[in-house]
Structure formats: structure tokens, C-alpha cells
Copies of this chain bind each other. A is one copy, B any other.
């Protein structure tokens, strides 16, 4: 399957990937007016939900009047869509790089799990939570657009899981495992607090691998 995003050098350099995407106009520069708004929007949408977040909240978060928002975006929903689209673009590129950097299928899966945990609980965490939990606030037309991008992302996982199934390392169905992992990993956003508590992201990755019965064998 052809993959259109640029292939990047190893090891995974998240900042380099970001710069590349900004250059291609696929993601907004976080320091631009648009980028700052999207980051604040992601935070507000996650904290209060899309519906409870008003355009006045969004405007206040970046220090402008509510009406001025509509100079940058035609509707409030367009802001939500932009958060989702840019997030999924960035994360697909990062995950792709993580997979490329790994050698065995086991390592690839570990890289995917670790990278997704980082996506969910790191810098892009707010936006990832929005992507997962505000899905139904998007119009159907927008859902279809985002879904196409999401399919690319999911293909990364399924390739690796299918390979592990062929190897005999995985017993359960790859589709189902991926769906279970989607739920399990995205749910960490509700309870995992790496800053207070000894569990590092790598520890958590180990736990997931152990849960799947794939520990270092």
C-alpha cells in the first residue's frame, strides 16, 4: 500500500517530522495564530467537551474577540475538524517512523504501543482525546474525511498485527486485538498520570505487552 507521507530518517525525531509536515502545509505551525488556536481548542474540547466549549471560550483563550474567530474558520465545527485532521496527520507520520525504526514484528508492535501512549498522554494528548471522544460532534461529511486519514493510521497497526498472527505469536484475531488496544490505550488518558506515580511510559508499554502474552520471548 503506497504511503504518501515523507519517509524520515531514524531514529524517530518527532520535531523533524513536525517541521516537515509544516513545510508541506499539512499541519499548522504551533507558533502561528492558527496553530495556537488549534492547540487551545484541543485543550478546551478535551476538558469541557466540544459542545460546552463556546466560541467565546475559544476566542478568550487566544486573546481575541469571539467574532474574530470567524476570520480564520468559517464555523466552529471547522475548528474541531482541523484539530482532528492535523492530529491524525502528525501521528500517522510519527507512527510510521516508529515502525520503520524497528526491526522485528514484536519490536514494531512495541514501538506502536509506546508511540500511541506517547500520542495520547504527551504533547498531542489533548488533541488525541478529542479525536477519540468527540467523534460524533463532527458532521457526517467531516467524519468521512477524517475516516480516510484514520484508515491509513489503522493500516500501520494491522500490518504488524497480521504479521505477528502469521508468526504464531498472536492467538486472537488481529482486527479485534487492534480494536481492543484502541479502547485500552485511549482510555489511559482518563487515569494514567506519569508525572505523579512511578509508572513510566515504558513501564506501561511493558504491561500491555505482558497482558498480550508477548513478553520478550
Judging by beta carbons under 8 Å apart, are A172 and B137 in contact? no
With both beta carbons as reference points, the residue of chain B lying nearest to A135 in the complex is identified as B190
Judging by beta carbons under 8 Å apart, are B133 and A172 in contact? no
Residues from chain B with a CB closer than 8 A to the CB of A183 are 183-188
A10 interface hit (Cβ, 8 Å) = no
Give the shortest distance, in Å, between A168 (CB) and chain B (any CB): 13
From B48, B177, B187, contact of A180 by CB (8 A): B187
A61 interface hit (Cβ, 8 Å) = no
Residues from chain B with a CB closer than 8 A to the CB of A212 are 211-213
Q: How far is the CA of A179 from the CA of B190 in the complex (A)?
A: 10
Judging by beta carbons under 8 Å apart, are B49 and A177 in contact? no
Q: How far is the CA of A84 from the CA of B184 in the complex (A)?
A: 22
Q: How far is the CA of A137 from the CA of B185 in the complex (A)?
A: 22
Judging by beta carbons under 8 Å apart, are A171 and B215 in contact? yes
Residues from chain B with a CB closer than 8 A to the CB of A187 are 179-180, 182-184, 186-187
With both beta carbons as reference points, the residue of chain B lying nearest to A134 in the complex is identified as B49
Q: Mark A174-210, 1 if CB is under 8 A from B, else 0.
A: 0011011111111110010000000000001001101
A136 interface hit (Cβ, 8 Å) = yes
Give the shortest distance, in Å, between A24 (CB) and chain B (any CB): 31
Instruction: Report A's interface with B, CB cutoff 8 A.
Output: 47-49, 51-52, 133, 136-137, 171-173, 176-177, 179-188, 191, 204, 207-208, 210-213, 215
**What 7 A-B pairs are tightest by C-beta distance, nearest first?**
A183-B187, A213-B213, A51-B51, A180-B184, A172-B210, A183-B184, A184-B184
Could you list 11 A-B pairs, sorted by A, with CB under 8 Å?
Answer: A49-B51, A51-B51, A52-B137, A133-B133, A172-B210, A176-B207, A177-B211, A179-B184, A180-B207, A181-B184, A183-B184
